[in-house]
């Protein structure tokens, strides 16, 4: 569902088997620097989060990268995504990075607001080009002293 939802903003091909693939999926269960999370609300799957070590922008291996973040439409616009993002940022203190395709304006607004409420101030984004596509990159430092839930 994540890939299908994302196909509105990015050219995503469906495979011959009718599925949208994610080439790096198995790596999240095999590599120590990758962390997969399945979001559940009242026992129901509500989304996913994939966090990995290593910047896709600068190549800095110390950066925590929010590689994938998805909340099912039925659970959106209730503050759940912001709560989950804040929880992830508290779990992985240090330099954080989020990339959003420039055509996905709702996601850009979400990340701006989520980071602002987390940090207590607006954070800036900068534009980058990756694989011929313009993206907004958000970068900030999560303090190590914030307690986790």
Question: pLDDT tens, 65-81?
Answer: 999 999 988 888 889 99
Per-residue model confidence (pLDDT) at position 7:
46
Residue 84 — φ and ψ, nearest 5°? Answer: -65, -45
Domain spans of the chain?
2-142
Asked whether 146 and 93 are in contact (CB, 8 A), the reply is yes
Average model confidence (pLDDT) across the chain: 83
At 86, the pLDDT band (50, 70, 90 cuts) reads very high
At 98, the pLDDT band (50, 70, 90 cuts) reads very high
Q: For 49-70, write each residue's pLDDT tens digit.
A: 999 999 988 889 999 999 999 9
Of all residues in the chain, the percent with pLDDT exceeding 90 is 45
Which CATH number is 2-142's, of 3.40.630.30, 3.40.640.10, 3.40.30.10, 3.40.140.10?
Answer: 3.40.630.30
Task: Please list the alpha-helical segments (H only) found in 7-138.
Answer: 27-30, 80-91, 105-119
Give pTM, 2 decimals.
0.79
Q: What is the mean pLDDT of residues 130-146?
A: 81
């Amino acid at each position: 569902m994540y890939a299908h939802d994302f196909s509105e903003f990015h050219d995503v091909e469906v495979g011959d088997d009718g599925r949208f693939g994610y080439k790096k999926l198995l790596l999240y269960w095999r590599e120590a620097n990758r962390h997969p999370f399945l979001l559940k609300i009242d026992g129901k799957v509500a989304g996913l989060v994939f966090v990995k070590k290593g910047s896709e922008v600068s190549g800095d291996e110390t950066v925590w990268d929010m590689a994938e973040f998805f909340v099912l439409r039925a659970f959106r616009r209730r503050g759940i995504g912001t709560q989950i993002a804040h929880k992830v940022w508290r779990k992985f203190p240090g330099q954080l990075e989020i990339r959003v395709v420039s055509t996905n304006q709702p996601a850009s607004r979400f990340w701006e607001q989520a980071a602002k409420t987390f940090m207590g101030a607006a954070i800036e984004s900068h534009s980058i080009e990756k694989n011929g596509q313009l993206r907004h990159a958000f970068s900030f430092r999560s303090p190590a002293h914030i307690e986790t839930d």
